[in-house]
Amino acid sequence: MNKRDTGALLLILTILPVVQAHAQGSPCLSNPDTAATHAATVTRFVTLGDSSRLVQQGIPYRPAEGVAVVTDTVICRAIVTAYNGLSSPDAADISRAYVLTVGTTAYAMVGEKTPSVYAFFDTSYHWLAGFAKM
């Protein structure tokens, strides 16, 4: 290994921990298999649920745009913050969640501590409803 190779290796080793730390600190959970499972569950909620109840709660019924996983850090952080603001005990607070768009007017989220509870928010991050997967 010559001097030039050593310098490149040092640069890579110096940058790598920073990239990993940033990924771990993201409020967006994004495991593809788990995210797909949550997207399928939310899709069932909004296509098989009572249309009038969903619309009354502000959740789109059978949204033409469908349900999609969000990986935007700003949106995930806003949803996590809104969710944490719903309860008073800090022990229930989360730092990461799976966040999904529901059409263009709502988000669904599944926190890291309660993988079978889905909280729905509007695009201004106001709570709409909560559903539990049975």
The predicted structure's pLDDT at residue 8: 39
Distance CA 60, CA 62 (A): 6
The predicted structure's pLDDT at residue 10: 36
Percentage of the chain beyond pLDDT 90 is: 70
Task: Report the candidate in 95, 94, 46, 88 with the shortest Cα–Cα distance to residue 67.
Answer: 46
Distance CA 18, CA 79 (A): 25
The stretch 10-35 carries a mean pLDDT of 61
- Which residues fall within 8 angstroms of residue 126, CB to CB, at 6 or more apart? 82
pLDDT classification of 24: cutoffs 50, 70, 90: low
The predicted structure's pLDDT at residue 14: 33
3-state DSSP assignment of residue 17: helix
pLDDT classification of 90: cutoffs 50, 70, 90: confident
Task: Report the candidate in 124, 111, 117 with the shortest Cα–Cα distance to residue 42.
Answer: 117
The predicted structure's pLDDT at residue 11: 34
Widest CA span in the chain: 70
3-state DSSP assignment of residue 72: coil
Rounded mean pLDDT of the chain? Answer: 84
pLDDT classification of 20: cutoffs 50, 70, 90: very low
- Above 70 in pLDDT, residue 6? no
Backbone phi, psi, residue 23, to 5°: -65, -40
- Which residues fall within 8 angstroms of residue 102, CB to CB, at 6 or more apart? 42, 46, 59, 60, 63, 67, 108, 120
pLDDT classification of 18: cutoffs 50, 70, 90: very low
